[in-house]
Structure 1
Amino acid sequence: MRGFKRYLAAALAGRFASEGMGIALVLLALERTGSAANGAFVLTAWLAPHVLAAPLAGAAAARTPRPRLFHVGALVCFTLAVATLSVLVGRAPVPVVIAVAVAGGSCGPMVTGGLSSLVASLVPAGAGRDQAYAWDAATYNAAGVTAPAVVGLVASLGSAGPAMAVLACSGALAAVLAALLPYEDPRAGRRDAAPRPTAGGGFAALWRVRELRAISAATTLAFVGIGALSTTAVLLARSLGAPGAGGALMTAFAVGALSGSVLLARRRASGRADDPGLLARWALGGTGVALVAVAFAPTVPLAAAGFALAGVCDGPLLTATLRIRAEHAPDAVRAQVFTLGAGLKVTAAAAGAALVGLAAGRPPGMLVLGIAALQLAAVVVHRAAAGPARPAAAPLPAPAAVPPAPVAPRDAPQDAPAGP
């Protein structure tokens, strides 16, 4: 595992900065303008480019002869955007702030899926790589737990400006650590005449490779619900008589997801094998069932327990997704598949947040049931798109022994020459 520990540190630092941006931008706008709407607009500009920039970023990563420079450059641009927004939000003209947010958000896919695409070059195929993807998934969940908490704590002690500075420092640390990783030329091993990957290669792979098509369709549908979960948690807590407990419910979900990822990583360390497609369906189904129980929880503590259980089930889904992408993405477009998959999920989550805003007047329990239904529907979508399990290839029969040619006795007459 060449440099894998440094990779985990870089991934955690970069994703910490990414996960903290949502709450930090809203807090900063609220502090400086008195309205969270400005922060919401900037956050939308930050998230919107993900799905558009993902295939372009993946294609560039696959074509560049200097992958170190490309990945570090993306992290540096990401960090500069965070630092610039910490100064401009609430002070500069809105179009300028939006432009900076779009530029920084365009680097977002490289912080998520782009970094995950490096695991295959750092860890050899086999059980070790499966375990590596479980730890990589844990960095997403760890960032999801710690970043909002740290941002909220720093903002409460001082202001949201220093909280944004913390995120910028974390992004800078990720860039430094990424510069120390071993890289391989993504074009190595290809023939000179082989076609160079294009921005559409990732889309083609997601559509043509059924395992990729199945997991992409299922997770995109599921993340429409996950994107609605934060707002729904706030509404549910208020309906249970604890208006401020929405954050606690989401923290329980995030801690559960981190626990699920770590438990899976330890399971992989013990050498136990599992089918990632089946693992994805179990994760989606378990999350859906747990959320059904949440919808009928009579108290906040019971709802928190249900959120934690849903998180435990959801945690392994990312590990399974990363493994499927690594195992089935063509080498030439692997980076595109990772960045595009991440972009689709972010876009789906943004759509879910918008939808729950339109349905906020409905009973919170009904909204939770809707989110659970999306998780269960994703199980059906994945099963239908994946098709029947492919039978294991039968071992080739051993070659039949060829009897040696008969040798004529020395005193036997020689064959006559063949005629015309």
Structure 2
Amino acid sequence: MPRPRAVAPVPRSGLPLYLATAFCARLAEEGMAVAVALLALQRAGDAAQGAFVLTAWMAPHVVAAPLVGALATRMRRPRLCYLGALSGFTAAVLTLSLLIGRASAPVTFAVAVAGGACGPVVSGGLSSLIAVLVPAGPRRDRAYALDAAVYNAASVAGPAVVGVTAAVASPGAAMLLLGTVAAGAVAAASGLPYGSARQRTDARPATTLRADLAAGLAAVWHVRELRAITAGTCLAFLGIGGLTTTAVLLAAHRGHPGAGGALMTAFAVGALAGSLALARWQPPLSDPRLATLSLCGTGVALAAAAPVPSPAVCGALFVLAGACDGPLLTATFRIRAAYAPSHARAQIFTLGAGLKITAAACGAAAVGAGATLPPPLLLLAIAAVQLGGALLHTLVRRGEGPGDAHADTAGADPAKGAVSGPAPAERP
């Protein structure tokens, strides 16, 4: 009787370990704003220093994003780039937990700038690894939906973990906990398979770092879908960046001080539910159309919440707004992966995230400057910006522009807005 042939084991994608890495890193990132504010208030008696530290933390994102993405692609061992950035991020969080309110402002700000320069790997660079870990097709689409769900879960858990730890122990302990969680992300990332990233870049001709930087920026500008999603989401994040402050002002305006945090929690929970739903059920929509509808849904829900006096109804509308915002992140990830040149994918993910964070910072500053306006009017303005983002995304997609090429995705189906087959650089 012939012996049965051994079946080769199916290689694991590394997706579960990736999701653990992304959750830990993003939990630390999402908890930073609350932890820094609480720590500055406790030690310095003034939250203003915390605001300045956060500004220094966010400022380098847009500058460092293309450089970090290019280095991740160029290095023969991309593992070193990702682990180095995550380690720098962790070290900055732990160091700031000791410096805030104790060391001189220039030293504290310098550490915050250094940590913020590593931030693009957390906010966008990690997501570019999914194209390496999971083969193209429905599995990769689901992986991006799960990645968005992890992002939204971290946005819920990060502030909550910081708040509970600060109440039970101290803000310093909360900051140290975030550093420990970030260190867990480094440990998890060390076990991820990075070999495929090198195999894809080995076939490319040698180029200079300057050329790689130009290639990533050019792709965002010349590829219509990348240009559209970047423009639309950046405009939308100009409003989202001011949503937290607006929610706090709105709650106080209606006689419920302290309920602003509950509104933002409702928004984050809705976003988590929306991204999880998309991971299980794919609507019959292309990703670009899903992005447009998500922006519209978020804008309409926030506009409806502006005149509503009932806290329960307002909270439900914030949940609905978040449920529309969650699929937007998934669609954004998928569009970047489908239309980015394989050699610039990491750069495009980091650059897109950096631009969005910068837009959010500008939006937060704008709401701060207009804080004397009626809060319902501020919320209506944020809603209008979401609708403006949807309109801008649609106009850029339909309009003509430089190049309008579909970079490195010859197998793409323009009607679906996704890759129907592997890109040339991904074929065996």
Does TM, scored on the shorter chain, surpass 0.5?
Answer: yes
1:348 aligns with 2:362: no
Structure 2: stretches of 5+ with no match in the other structure: 1-11, 400-412, 418-428
Q: For 1:79 and 1:203, locate their aligned partners in 2 and report how far apart those are by CA, in whole Å.
A: 28
Q: What residue in structure 1 maps to residue 42 of structure 2?
A: 31
Q: From 263, 270, 277, give the equivalent of 1:256.
A: 270
Q: Could you say which residue in structure 2 is the equivalent of 1:217? A: 231
- The CA distance in 2 between the partners of 1:16 and 1:162, in whole Å, is 15
Alignment of 1:22-171 (within 5 A): 22-171=33-182
Match of 1:201 in 2: 215
Q: Tell me, in whole angstroms, the C-alpha distance in 2 between the residues paired with 1:159 and 1:32.
A: 11
* Maintained 8 Å contact 2:38/2:171: yes
Rounded to whole Å, the distance in 1 between the matches of 2:313 and 2:372 is 23
Is contact 1:187–1:332 with CA below 8 Å preserved after alignment?
A: no
| Structure 2 residue 238 is matched with structure 1 residue 227 | no
Deviations 1:283-311 (CA, angstroms, capped at 9, x unpaired): 00000000111011112111111111100
* 1:186-218 deviation line (CA, Å, top 9, x unaligned): 343454535355223221111000000000000
CA deviation map 1:162-189 (0-9, x unaligned) = 0001100110000000000111253434
Q: Which amino acid aligns with 2:160?
A: A
Separation in 1 of the partners of 2:133 and 2:284?
Answer: 21
In structure 2, the residue matched to 1:172 is 183
SS of the residue aligned with 1:362?
coil
Distance 1:386 1:96 in 2: 45
Question: Distance between the aligned counterparts of 1:265 and 1:333, measured in 2?
Answer: 26
**Cα distance in 1 between the residues matched to 2:415 and 2:135:** 25
Q: Is the 8 A contact 1:64 1:186 kept in 2?
A: no
* Higher deviation after alignment, 173-182 or 384-393: 384-393
Given that 1:224 and 1:351 are in contact with CA atoms closer than 8 Å, whether structure 2 keeps it comes out as yes
Retained in 1: the 8 A contact 2:132–2:196? no
Per the TM alignment, residue 256 of structure 1 is displaced from its structure 2 partner at its CA by: 0.3
Whole-angstrom distance in 2 between the partners of 1:201 and 1:239: 48
State the Cα distance separating 1:156 from its structure 2 match.
1.0
Segments of 5+ residues of structure 1 without an aligned counterpart are: 394-420
Residue 242 of structure 2 aligns to a residue whose secondary structure is helix
* Residues 284 and 378 in structure 1, CA contact (< 8 A), matched pair in contact too: yes
Does residue 324 of structure 1 match 2:335? yes
Contact 2:287 2:416 in 1 (8 A): no
For 1:232, the aligned partner's letter is T
Q: Quick check: 2:285–2:416 contact (8 Å CA) kept in 1?
A: no
CA gap 1:146/1:193 in 2 versus in 1, 3 angstroms = closer
- Give 1:88 deviation, angstroms: 0.6
Number of residue-to-residue matches in the alignment: 390
Looking at CA atoms only, which structure, 1 or 2, has the larger radius of gyration? 1
Q: Residues of 2 paired with 1:155 and 1:391: CA distance? A: 50
Q: Which residue of 2 aligns with 1:242?
A: 256
Tell me the SS of whatever aligns to 1:125: coil
Rounded Cα–Cα distance in structure 2 between residues aligned with 1:9 and 1:24: 22
Return the alpha-carbon distance in structure 1 between the equivalents of residues 146 and 416 of structure 2.
28
Deviations 1:337-382 (A, max 9, x none): 0000000010000000000011111111111110000010111101
Deviation at 1:133, TM superposition (A): 0.1
Distance across 2 between alignment mates of 1:2 and 1:324: 21
SS in 1 for 2:50: helix
SS of alignment partner, residue 38 of structure 1: helix
After superposition, the Cα gap between the structure-2 partners of 1:32 and 1:69, relative to the gap in structure 1 and judged at 3 Å, is same
TM-score (norm 1): 0.90
Q: 1:11 to 1:192 in 2, by over 3 A?
A: closer
CA distance in 2, matches of 1:175, 1:392: 36
Q: Distance in 1 between matches of 2:237 and 2:195?
A: 33
Q: Decide whether aligned partners of structure 1 residues 317 and 391 sit closer, same or farther in structure 2, where only a CA change above 3 A counts.
A: closer
Rounded Cα–Cα distance in structure 1 between residues aligned with 2:33 and 2:415:
45
Task: Give the structure-2-normalised TM-score.
Answer: 0.89
CA contact (8 A) 1:284 1:317 kept: yes
1: distance between equivalents of 2:277 and 2:204? 44
CA contact (8 A) 2:306 2:379 kept: yes
1-side partners of 2:286 and 2:415: how far apart? 13
Distance 1:179 1:391, change over 3 A: closer
In structure 2, what residue type is equivalent to 1:193? Answer: P
Counterpart check, 1:267 vs 2:281: yes
For 1:157, give the aligned amino acid.
V
The separation in 1 between residues aligned to 2:364 and 2:85, in whole angstroms, is 27
CA 192–279 in structure 1, closer or farther in 2 if over 3 Å, else same: closer
Q: What per-residue deviation string (whole Å, max 9, x for no partner) do you get for residues 71-104 of structure 1? A: 1111111000000000011111110000000000
